[in-house]
Structure 1
Amino acid sequence: MTQTHDETVRTRPDTATAVPVDEPAQPDRIRRPADAIRFAASLLGLAAVLLLVSIAQQTTHGLQSDIAEGTAHAPRFLLSLATMASSFGVLAVPVAFSIERLFHKDGTRVAIALLAAVIAFGLTYVLDGWVISAAPGGVLDSLIWGGTDTALVHTDITPVIAFVSAVGMAGRVRWQAATWTMIGLAALTGLTAAYASVAALVATYFLGRAIGHGTLYAVGTPNPRPAASAVVAALERIGLRPASARRLPGGAHGDADDPRRYGVTVRHDPDAPAEDGTGKELPRAEWQLEVRVLDRDQQPAGLLYRVWRLLRLRGAAPGRALRSLRRSLEQESLMAYAVAACGARTPRLVGTSEVGVDAALLAYAYVPGRRLNAVDDGELTDGLLRDVWRQFQRLQEARLAHRRLQGDAVLVGDDGLAYITDLRAGEIAAGDLVLRLDLAQLLTTLALRAGPERAVATAAAVLGEDALAAAVPLLQRVALSRATRAALRHDKELLTRIREQIVALEPETEVAPVRVERFKPRTIVSIVALTVAAYIVFPQVSSVDFQQLVSSASWWWVLVALFAAGVTYLAAAWMLMGFVPERLSLGRTVLVQVAASFVKLVAPAAVGGVAMNTRYLQRSGVRPGPAVASVGASQLMGMITHILLLIVFGFITGSTTTATQDLAPSRTMVVVLLALGLVAAVALTIPRVRRAVAARMKSMFSGVVPRLVDVLQSPKKLATGMGGTLLLTVAFVVCLDSCVRAFGGSLHWTAVVVVFLTANALGSAAPTPGGLGAVEGALTLALTISGLTAETAASAVLLYRLLTLWLPVLPGWAAFAYLQRKEAI
């Protein structure tokens, strides 16, 4: 709803004097972030119920049986009384509450709640009309378990739950108690009458909540934010005498949770009129107060981002992601008094007050000036920067953390002095890490405006070089605020230049970054990938009879597979040695490859081996640049060989299925290659993707090509490297084929090659340690498609991964420890 900006005159309820209030007309309805969060949480709860009943069907069935047996012995009189009370009260209580709300002129909220109830009724009617024959054996069967008359969801109470969720009973304890008591009795009646199961009732609760909050967010809730007249009245109650008020544009940062701000003039003489006898407003000075209004509905704004920072960073996020209105008011007030007490310059907090039940205000003495972001470059003198650092130094000495030292948190007054503002996220008695993060944040903020040279120089002049050096390990993008990270996209080398300036002043500064992340986003991807892989692999594993597996396996083929798995380490050593012109010890290089099998468990397959080999070459006397180039050359040739083998054997596999044996290409392989080529071509039409690929290829070939030229001058080295590359593939194929034959399976050798090459490519691309999950899923699926039974394929894959991934872990750990002790890695 679009409203025009108009100036209105409102009267304080406790006086007869009109106070001019300049404020845009507020919308009748708003969409609250809290409703969206509750809607998402309800959907997650519903999904959790469906997941639980799908993996624990026996438990849910047993719980239902226990409840049925328990209620069978309950007095029939009490059950009948509960049934009668719930049948009447489950509708009577919400109706009574609606009438009460209508008397208080809250009909809009009641209408929205009725809409949610209608939607819930329609949806539950459709769900209960579901064809039950589709349910047995699955999630629906677990939900409706209890008899043929059992419903998927409780139709009687779902609309009531949706109504209650949408109408809003916060702060009305008696109404809440009465309503949920009736809902609980109705649920108990459904259980005793076998109308609904426990799982269905829990699903009913989450479904009703989701519909209620979803409807409330989609339609919008009546605006609970108090108008400026209520703010003026609250100022009157704390002893101030407003003469006029004006809504100021935007918040301090433009964030979703920024508070409303008002400029207010006050009369020092409470008897002085605001107007003369003609109604003309008397001339007055600039605003004396800046009033910040905290609205309850804005408190959850940005919650997901704060939760993410709280979980991801160590000590870099506030202790609570969601604070109540009262706690937010108390925290900002405490910080304002603490900052003023430590001697740092900040607008004086004049008073605080609640504004009804849905808002609170903080009145600050108005300081005319501009935010640091709005100050012209020519006005950013070294004197001003040093003054900013002096205010920051007082905060640090008092162990006060600001947490939002962005450009808008520093006010440059008309008197040329710096003021620290926006204290809502601050923290008293802060720890060392949080204080150092504040230092890193302010360094970056000032460097973005004045350049890293001036920011570091002025900071060193005030704080000292030793104190400044503490920020170097924390100059990381992840540790900075969201707005600062966005600004750094336009100057990606700024943090590096800040570090260089500090190191130039203090050469002994520790440069290694401090780990502030509990986990990286890649960890989340790994967990999701492992979950999906477990969903694919576990059903295959559960179908394997391990006792029969051990007794029926052909141990001759198991020994062949074990030998082939051991050959892979010799092949990997030759592969690396062939692309290193310097002389390497074969025994120690093989030992490094064994140690890499241990590192696979803590790093993706394509990363662990590269890092291990690079470190080994550097310890062997190869300079860092050539060491990286040598490992890159071996990986590049391995990738090219892998792709060529996959294409060649894909064509051969297609020909072996025809009667003519005419080397006709596999139709599936042709389709796959064409699809990959089309995707690559479309991607390269995007300028950003094209530049990224070009930069990556340039960085790869700039060091690899000269290294390959050196290798080409030595036929022996070239033969060693290419021979190791081919032997590595042959050894893995022999190992996989032997595992298949160990359980009575048999495939054409070309099919085994294609299966291995495909699974290995997926394992290298997967972000999980050792390609865990991706390799198992790909191998099992590919072997099954190739003609093996599911049990044989699963057994062969288990044995293959046991020999190539799990069995080498203990020897790999021993080799890793030995090489570390010898300082070889």
Structure 2
Amino acid sequence: MTDIKERDGAGCPTGGLSGGEPSGDSSRPHPDPSSEASGPPDTGTADSSDFQDSLDSQDSGDSRKSADSREPDVLVVEPLLPQRLRRPSDALRFLATLLSLTVVVLLSLVAKQTLNGLEADVEEGAARAPDLLISVSTFLGGALVLAIPVAFAVERVFHRDGLRVAEGLIAAIVGMVVSFFVGEWLIATGPGDIRQLLTGGRPDVEPLNTLLTSVIAYVTAVRISRRPTWRAVMWTAVALNVFALYTGTNITLPGAIVTILLGMAVGYATLYSVGSPNTRPPGSAVVASLRRLGHSPIKARRIEDDAQGSRRYAVVLTDGHRLDVTVLDRDRQVAGLLYRLWRRMRLNSETRRRAIRSLRAELEREAVMAYAAQAAGVSTPPLRATSEIGTEAALLAYDHIATRALEDIPDEEIDDELLSRIWTQVQLLQAHRLAHRRLTGETIHLDASGQVVLVDARSGEIAAGDLLLRLDIAQLLTYLALRVGAERSVRAAAAILGPDAVAAALPLLQRIALARQTRSALAKHKDLLSAIRDHIVQLEPQVEVEEVRLERFRLSTLLAIIGGAFAAYYLLTGLGRVNVVEVVKGAHWGWTGAAFAAAGITYLAAALLLMGFVPEKLPLGRTVLAQFAGSFVKLVAPAAVSGVAINTRYLQKRGIPPGQAVASVGASQLVQLVFHVLLLLFFAYITGSSTAPTFTPSRGLLVALLAVALVVLAALGIAPLRRVVVKRTRSLFSGVVPRLLDVLQSPRKILQACSGTLLLTISFVACLDASLRAFGGELNFAAVAVVFLAGNAIGSAAPTPGGLGAVEASLIVGLTLSRVPPEVATSAVLLFRLLTFWLPVLPGWASFTYLQRREAL
């Protein structure tokens, strides 16, 4: 056999490799030649020697046959595979262990009383147990937990696998050091609750058992879990040792669990840091597998990895044909796992994919999809062979077709004929209910004659449902629109698939439904999806669009839940500082009634405000009911969104065109914002003047105003921020100026709008002022106005429903800074929110239902 040394484009050394004997590959890791040679094969491990044993055991006669027939040597050109690599699975296990550790500590802190009772029961039971039993269990537990790791180390050294033992010793040392310093920190300055949890309050108990941490770190780093017999014996010894320590009151139950989890975390961190032996089969193993499948390769070369990170080889056969071989490596199965888990949680079941799939399942999925596409007449590279390579990899061999990816073709070369050929291939997939799921420029290719070839169907689905088929259309419509424009993309699709099929994809034109690369490209074309929708509607004006909810939840919903949880915690904490019974007994019910009346007036004022910005005539009664309905919607939407949505819908149902309805609501919001700022400045000025000596602006208020000014200056002065602000406000206030000009032509509308805006703010301030006086608080009306206006602005910006939590916190802080006692401020704010947020929910629901039945909402 002749070895040929070369260097690839990156300067990596490559070697000529013999396909007859995979062990002769100079580019693969070189374990000790006698590794595992004198003992039974270690099928539970995942090192290089294990891979070689499994590969040789598949067909030990093939190499003899190859030598006898004197098959020619095969040159495999590829970079040297690294001896060791960091496995993503080790990093994920480390993160999962840390998460489990955090959960255990938090649950233990919550169930502190239960654990204390359990500790007392154990102490009482241990006192009654025979001394001989305790002594025997203590001796066996301590002896076995040390003897088994030593025996495993001797067995590994005997099989020339001392490197694995060295890794375990490194992990054991690190585990001992980490355990010691964490324990000393907990004893000296750590949180008292955690110290009590891990020691049970006994001064002679270590928070973490140093020996047990080291042993667990060692057995994790040497991957003893992959050896079933050793695993069972080892964990039996650990359980016996924990039992002995627990009954001897030398460790607590949470301390034992935390010790084990910490040891596992150290072990996985060590594995990821130092790396693991590379078990990926080299090119010679791929060649050997192809020979067993009946092919006769004469040379092979590693080419660029595919889009999903799998290795690819170009293999030339004796008859001149070429195969494109894709190798699926087991250690790549967890690549991108966190992203897939997030998508799986966020998307509905019909659109999500399995986050973790076995090597066999991945092989079968791609093979079945390739055969189904060939049977459907789709132009794809024919799949010629599939095979597992040992236990750590599998291959798929396709006929080679010389192609160019669509993403490498200039936009000007994509003519209507090419678009038609692309959609024709997709039509074949749709007719046979095959979903490709990755129709992008990377997977759409053109051969030498200009014919379209679809590749990389690993993510595809056979017998796909309507939703997946429509998602394919939406994805390809968007990608092609990025290349040739929305109008040409829609027109080409409709010419092949028909207008109905294109219109069916209309509800799925959502960013979340598209491929990751397409979503990234859309960041520079914000209005593209809207343009595609408009062209589809022009194509099929009578289409009935049924909304499709692909997401289980949106990020805004998640933020609202988190914010609501913090708000609930804050409110409960505030209530804990107030004696509710004494406060209620001492409340002045006359002022409470005044606060209730002021809260009711706010709905009349909001109705007058809206009517003032609509040139058309609106009935006062139903407009007031619409404002009550908005109070019901506040339970599920931020305060700044719920009112806009309800009022816009109400105006549309009154026959006002959507554009004018949005403009009217936007005009009311804009004028309300202007009034809000002016009133805040006006009342802030009054509070600092000599006419209101009971309240002077505090240093905190001045700092807050300066901070707001800096935020405004940053938003206006920094170009990226300015673009974001302009874009967010443009959609709301587009068409506002013409609508304001219509309103300015009627003096009655101007008076109605201004009086409604002023009455709305004054009513809210009066409600807060009356709530404060109901509990004996005394504060200047202007100071109350400043507190309300500032708190309401913060609440409107908060993502929680109705500004829940943010409004309460800001109002309480504002009143407290105004020298109102904290318990009075808390009581007043809770009464204010009860009257303006919680009590209107029931009449709001009744109004919402009534208006919907009358088709007024």
TM superposition score normalised by structure 1: 0.89
The residue identity in structure 1 corresponding to 2:473 is: L
Cα distance, 1:183–1:743 mapped onto 2, change above 3 Å: farther
Deviations 1:518-539 (A, max 9, x none): 2211111112212222332222
With 62-71 and 753-762 compared, the bigger mean Cα shift is at 62-71
Q: How does 1:510-549 map to 2 (within 5 A)?
A: 510-511=544-545, 513-548=547-582
Aligned-partner Cα distance in 1 for 2:749–2:509:
44
Cα distance, 1:261–1:73 mapped onto 2, change above 3 Å: farther
Cα distance, 1:681–1:416 mapped onto 2, change above 3 Å: same
1:59 aligns with 2:114: yes
The residue identity in structure 2 corresponding to 1:37 is: L
Aligned-partner Cα distance in 1 for 2:769–2:678:
21
Aligned-partner Cα distance in 2 for 1:701–1:52:
49
1:248 maps to 303
Q: How does 1:349-428 map to 2 (within 5 A)?
A: 349-377=383-411, 380=414, 382-428=416-462
Cα pair 2:715 2:725 within 8 Å, conserved: no
The match for 1:214 among 259, 264, 269 is: 269
Secondary structure, counterpart of 2:316 in structure 1:
strand
Aligned-partner Cα distance in 2 for 1:359–1:657:
83
Secondary structure, counterpart of 1:360 in structure 2:
strand
Aligned-partner Cα distance in 2 for 1:53–1:793:
35
Aligned-partner Cα distance in 1 for 2:736–2:488:
40
Cα distance, 1:392–1:82 mapped onto 2, change above 3 Å: farther
Cα distance, 1:310–1:75 mapped onto 2, change above 3 Å: same
Q: How does 1:127-526 map to 2 (within 5 A)?
A: 127-130=182-185, 132=187, 138-169=193-224, 171-251=226-306, 253=307, 257-267=308-318, 285=320, 287=322, 289-315=323-349, 317-377=351-411, 380=414, 382-511=416-545, 513-526=547-560
Q: How does 1:623-772 map to 2 (within 5 A)?
A: 623-650=657-684, 652-653=686-687, 661=693, 665-696=697-728, 703-772=735-804
Deviations 1:314-358 (A, max 9, x none): 246444111122221222222222222333232222222222322
1:821 aligns with 2:853: yes
Cα distance, 1:712–1:505 mapped onto 2, change above 3 Å: closer
Q: How does 1:546-585 map to 2 (within 5 A)?
A: 546-548=580-582, 550-585=584-619
Cα distance, 1:54–1:731 mapped onto 2, change above 3 Å: farther
Number of residue pairs matched by the alignment: 801
Aligned-partner Cα distance in 2 for 1:111–1:653:
73
Q: How does 1:767-786 map to 2 (within 5 A)?
A: 767-786=799-818
The residue identity in structure 2 corresponding to 1:26 is: L
Aligned-partner Cα distance in 2 for 1:487–1:684:
27
Cα pair 1:3 1:26 within 8 Å, conserved: no
Cα distance, 1:64–1:575 mapped onto 2, change above 3 Å: farther
- Shift in Å, 1:82: 2.9
Structure 2 unaligned spans of 5+ = 1-8, 22-62
- Shift in Å, 1:548: 4.7
The residue identity in structure 2 corresponding to 1:24 is: P
Cα pair 1:598 1:813 within 8 Å, conserved: yes
2:638 maps to 604
1:810 aligns with 2:817: no
Cα pair 2:687 2:696 within 8 Å, conserved: no
Cα pair 1:603 1:769 within 8 Å, conserved: yes
Cα pair 1:655 1:666 within 8 Å, conserved: no
Aligned-partner Cα distance in 2 for 1:650–1:155:
62
- Shift in Å, 1:436: 1.0
TM superposition score normalised by structure 2: 0.86
Secondary structure, counterpart of 2:739 in structure 1:
helix
- Shift in Å, 1:550: 4.5
Aligned-partner Cα distance in 1 for 2:379–2:215:
54
With 410-419 and 466-475 compared, the bigger mean Cα shift is at 410-419
- Shift in Å, 1:130: 2.6
Cα distance, 1:446–1:78 mapped onto 2, change above 3 Å: farther
Cα distance, 1:424–1:603 mapped onto 2, change above 3 Å: same
Cα pair 1:402 1:425 within 8 Å, conserved: yes
Cα distance, 1:609–1:58 mapped onto 2, change above 3 Å: same
Cα pair 1:314 1:518 within 8 Å, conserved: yes
1:97 maps to 152
- Shift in Å, 1:809: 1.0
1:281 maps to none
Cα distance, 1:133–1:651 mapped onto 2, change above 3 Å: farther
Aligned-partner Cα distance in 2 for 1:669–1:99:
71
Aligned-partner Cα distance in 2 for 1:378–1:758:
55
Cα distance, 1:800–1:188 mapped onto 2, change above 3 Å: farther
Aligned-partner Cα distance in 2 for 1:500–1:625:
16
The residue identity in structure 2 corresponding to 1:186 is: N
With 710-719 and 417-426 compared, the bigger mean Cα shift is at 710-719
- Shift in Å, 1:710: 4.2
1:5 maps to 12
The residue identity in structure 2 corresponding to 1:486 is: S
The residue identity in structure 1 corresponding to 2:213 is: T
- Shift in Å, 1:259: 0.8
Cα pair 2:179 2:210 within 8 Å, conserved: yes
Cα pair 1:112 1:215 within 8 Å, conserved: yes
The residue identity in structure 2 corresponding to 1:717 is: K
With 742-751 and 533-542 compared, the bigger mean Cα shift is at 742-751
The residue identity in structure 2 corresponding to 1:260 is: R
- Shift in Å, 1:181: 2.3
Deviations 1:591-634 (A, max 9, x none): 21111111111211111111111222233343433332222222
Cα pair 2:508 2:548 within 8 Å, conserved: yes
With 432-441 and 213-222 compared, the bigger mean Cα shift is at 213-222
Cα pair 2:186 2:207 within 8 Å, conserved: no
- Shift in Å, 1:818: 1.3
1:46 maps to 101
The match for 2:87 among 5, 22, 32 is: 32
Considering only aligned residues, what root-mean-square deviation do their CA atoms show, in Å? 3.0
Aligned-partner Cα distance in 1 for 2:701–2:429:
66
With 300-309 and 599-608 compared, the bigger mean Cα shift is at 300-309
Cα distance, 1:620–1:451 mapped onto 2, change above 3 Å: closer
With 457-466 and 293-302 compared, the bigger mean Cα shift is at 457-466
The residue identity in structure 1 corresponding to 2:305 is: G
Aligned-partner Cα distance in 2 for 1:229–1:710:
80
- Shift in Å, 1:450: 4.4
Cα distance, 1:292–1:148 mapped onto 2, change above 3 Å: same
Cα distance, 1:536–1:122 mapped onto 2, change above 3 Å: farther
- Shift in Å, 1:702: 5.1
Deviations 1:498-530 (A, max 9, x none): 334433443322346522222211111112212
1:21 maps to 76
Identity %: 52
Secondary structure, counterpart of 2:272 in structure 1:
helix
Aligned-partner Cα distance in 2 for 1:450–1:205:
58
Cα distance, 1:34–1:66 mapped onto 2, change above 3 Å: same
Deviations 1:223-262 (A, max 9, x none): 33222122222223333332211101131x2xxx421101
